[in-house]
Structure 1
Amino acid sequence: MPLDSITHLTLEQCISPSATINKNLRFFQLTNTDLKVETGLCTADFPLQQNKETIPQISVDPQEALELVVLGQTSIGQLQGLVTDSNIKINGLSRINNRNQQSSYRFQVTCQNPGQSRQLLAQFSLKHKIEAALLKDAPSLSKPGLLVMDMDSTTIEVECIDEIAALAGVGQQVAEVTELAMQGKLDFTQSLVQRVARLRGAPESVLAEVARDIPLMPGLKILVGTLKQHQWRVAIASGGFTYFADHLCQLLELDGAFANELEIIDGKLTGKVTGDIVDAKVKAQTLKILSDKFALDHRQTVAMGDGANDLVMMNSAALGVAFKAKPLVLEQADVSINHSGLDCLLHYLK
C-alpha cells in the first residue's frame, strides 16, 4: 500500500488490536514509500495484504534485538517518521498488548547505536506528542516485580514543599530553589535544607491542608491497582516529606514509603528535618532494600521519577522511566512518558 495514502491511519485502524500474534515475528515492512504486512493481520476495512509466498524469513540475532513500543493510536505517518529520525529498522511485529482499554504494538527492531537512537526517539516523541519506547529485556507484567516512584510531580501533581511554602507566605522563594534542584543545578541536600529553613514557624495545620487537597497524578490508581493484581510491589522513595508519603502509602495500600521527616515542636515547623535526608543515594538504596526484602529478580525492577535526584535510583533499576521530566532526566532515562498518565508504564512492560 503506498504510504502517502495511509499516513493518517492509526496502527489500530490498520491492524486490529485483537490480531493474533504467534511466538514468531509477523511480517511488517515499513519504508519511505509503502507499508507491507502479513496476510491476515489487516482489519476488514483495510484490504492491504502480502502474499505468503513472498514473505521473507525474519532472522534477528537475539543479542542485537530490541523492542520498539508505540501506542495503538500512533499514526502510520508518525511511526514512519519515528523510525526514520531514530535510525531504527523494524524487523517484524512481535506482540500487541491490550491494557487499561488501550492497545500498544511491540516491534522487534535493530539499530546501529541504541543509545543514540533512544535519545532521538525521545526527542521525536516529545516533539510530536506521542509515546514510544526502545527497550531491551523489559520487565514482564506477568511476573512479580517492583516499582519505586518519586512522589512530588510524579505520583502527585504538585511539589508539596512549594504548596506548604505558599500557605506559609514564602512560596516564591522556595519554588525558585526547588526548580534549581530538580534541574540538577543545585545539590539536593543543600537545597532541601535551604527550603525547609524558610518554613520555620509555619503551623502544623498547613500540612493537613495540603494533604487534604493533594492531587494524584492521572493514571496512578490504575497503575498501582494493575501492578498489584499481577503480584508487583509498589513503593515511594521521596525527597519530600513523610507526612504526605505515609498518607499516599495508606491511601493506595503501597508496600513502603521513604521520605524526610519535618521536625515539629509545639504545633509549629522548626525549619529542620529529623534523621538522615533521603537524597539520590538513599533512593537508590531503597530500591535494593525492597527488592531484597521481597526476593525479587533485579530484572523485574522499575524506578520512575522526574528530577535529577531520581537519576541514581533510575540507573539502579532494570528500567528507568522519566515521567514528564526535566531535560537532564529525559536525556538519561531508559524510556519516558511525556504526554500520558502514569498507567502508560503498563505498555512498556512485556
Structure 2
Amino acid sequence: MNNNLCFFQLSDTAVKLEAGLCAADFALTQNKESLVPSHFDSQQALELVVFGQTSIGQLHNLIAGSDIDINALTRINIRNRQSSYRFQVSSQNPAQSRQLLAQFSLKHNIEAALLKDAPSLSEPGLLVMDMDSTTIEIECIDEIAALAGVGQQVAEVTELAMQGKLDFAQSLVQRVAQLSGAPETVLAEVARDIPLMPGLKPLVASLKQHQWRVAIASGGFTYFADHLCQLLELDGAFANELEIINGRLTGKVSGDIVDADAKAQTLKILSDKFDLDHRQTVAMGDGANDLVMMNSAALGVAFKAKPLVLEQADASINHSGLDCLLHYLK
C-alpha cells in the first residue's frame, strides 16, 4: 500500500484531511509549512497505534487525556483479520504520556500503544515470551500444587512474587519445597490439557512466516516449556528443571534457577545465535520477574500484567489475545 503521510485535523466527531492532500502532494504546495506542525520530525516522532474498532470520539479523548498531539496518519495495517492505524505523534513527556495512555486503555477497554523505533514485522526478528500466564493461561506450579494438595500455600507465594514483593528465586525455592513427595504423574496431568493463551498460535505462525524466531524464557519448568516448544515448533525454551527421583518430586530444582537476569540473558543468547539486530527484539511477560528481560529488548510488552509491570513496559496488551502484538510492529 501507499505509505505517504496524511495530515489532518481531529475533533471528537470527525477527521478532516488538510486540503485533501497527502505528504507527497505537500511538496508541491506553497503552504506546506502551515500544514505540517513545526515540531514534526518524520524520523524521530513517536507512533501511536490504535485499532479499527476505536471510535473517533475515543481517539479524540485518548490523545487529549494522554497529552499527545497527532501529526499524521502514516499507515493502516490489516493483520490477522484486524485493522490498526499508525499515527506519528509528539509529546513533551513521552514517559508520562505512555502511562496516561495505558490508564486510558485499561479504563475504556481498548488496545493502544505509544511506540518509538518499533521493530519491523517485515525484517527477521526475535520474540522471547514468558510462559505462565503469558503463553499459557495458567501458572503451572499452582496447578501442580493443587493436585498435590498444597494449592493455597503455593498460590499465595506465587502472587507475592508476581507483584515483585518477594524475590523470585526465594519464592521459587519455597514453592517447590511444598511439592516434595508429589508423584511425577501430576506433571503429565497438567500438561495434558494445558490451555494456550488466545492468539498464541496465530502470533507464532505469522512471525514464522516473516522469518522471526520465537522462544520461551520461563521461571516455570522445563517439563512444560519443552512441551510447548515442540507443540509450537519454537526456536528455544529456557526454564527450571524439577528434580525427580524414583518417580517423585524431591521439592528441589536441579541446576541454576532461571530468574529475571537469566531471562534477559536468554534474549541476548538467542539474538547472538541467530545473528539478529537488537532493534528487532521483543520481550513479553506479565510479572515482575519479566521486567529485566523486557527492558533488555528493543520493545518490552506487558501482557495482562501486574501494575508494576504495566508501569514500566513500552507497550501493553490488556484485553486482546497475544496476536495483538503483530500490530505494534511496523
User: How many aligned positions are there?
Assistant: 320
Q: CA deviation at 1:62?
A: 4.0
Question: Is the deviation greater in 27-36 or in 103-112?
Answer: 27-36
Which aligned pairs between 1:21-32 and structure 2 lie closer than 5 A? 21-23=2-4, 25-31=5-11
Alpha-carbon distance in 2 for matches of 1:166, 1:252? 27
- Match for residue 318 of structure 2? 338
Q: Which amino acid aligns with 1:290?
A: L
- Match for residue 35 of structure 2? 57
Find 2:126's aligned residue among 146, 150, 161.
146
Superposed CA offset, 1:119-166 (max 9, x none)? 000000011000000011100000000000000000000000000000
Identity of aligned residues (%): 83
DSSP-derived class of the 1:237 partner? strand
CA contact (8 A) 1:93 1:107 kept: yes
Q: Which amino acid aligns with 2:36?
A: I
1:314 aligns with 2:294: yes
Q: CA deviation at 1:28?
A: 2.5
- Match for residue 44 of structure 1? none
DSSP-derived class of the 2:128 partner? strand
Find 2:212's aligned residue among 224, 232, 239.
232
Which aligned pairs between 1:295-314 and structure 2 lie closer than 5 A? 295-314=275-294
Q: CA deviation at 1:258?
A: 0.1
- Match for residue 8 of structure 1? none
DSSP-derived class of the 2:186 partner? helix
Alpha-carbon distance in 2 for matches of 1:129, 1:184? 25
- Match for residue 174 of structure 2? 194
- Match for residue 25 of structure 2? none
CA contact (8 A) 2:47 2:86 kept: yes
Superposed CA offset, 1:53-74 (max 9, x none)? 9885325224641100000110
CA contact (8 A) 1:153 1:306 kept: yes
DSSP-derived class of the 2:316 partner? strand
- Point out where structure 2 has 5 or more consecutive residues left out of the alignment: 23-28
CA contact (8 A) 2:12 2:56 kept: no
Find 2:273's aligned residue among 287, 293, 305.
293
Which aligned pairs between 1:171-182 and structure 2 lie closer than 5 A? 171-182=151-162
Find 2:263's aligned residue among 268, 274, 283.
283
Find 2:61's aligned residue among 62, 75, 81.
81
Alpha-carbon distance in 2 for matches of 1:53, 1:76? 30
Alpha-carbon distance in 1 for matches of 2:318, 2:119? 20
Alpha-carbon distance in 1 for matches of 2:125, 2:312? 22
DSSP-derived class of the 2:310 partner? helix
CA contact (8 A) 1:147 1:232 kept: yes
Q: Which amino acid aligns with 1:85?
A: G
- Match for residue 133 of structure 1? 113
Alpha-carbon distance in 2 for matches of 1:31, 1:76? 8
Alpha-carbon distance in 2 for matches of 1:33, 1:253? 46
DSSP-derived class of the 1:163 partner? helix
1:273 aligns with 2:253: yes
TM-score (ref. length: structure 2) = 0.94
Find 1:163's aligned residue among 140, 143, 147.
143
CA contact (8 A) 2:13 2:57 kept: no
Find 1:66's aligned residue among 18, 33, 46.
46
Superposed CA offset, 1:95-119 (max 9, x none)? 0000000000000100100000000
Alpha carbons of structure 1 residues 115 and 63: separation in structure 2 relative to 1, 3 Å:
farther
Superposed CA offset, 1:62-92 (max 9, x none)? 4641100000110111101110000010001
CA contact (8 A) 1:303 1:317 kept: yes
Superposed CA offset, 1:21-75 (max 9, x none)? 433x10222145753125389xxxxxxxxxx998853252246411000001101
DSSP-derived class of the 1:186 partner? coil
CA contact (8 A) 1:64 1:110 kept: no
CA contact (8 A) 2:301 2:314 kept: yes
Find 2:102's aligned residue among 106, 122, 125.
122
Q: Which amino acid aligns with 2:287?
A: G
Superposed CA offset, 1:219-256 (max 9, x none)? 00000000000000000000000000000000000000
CA contact (8 A) 2:13 2:56 kept: no
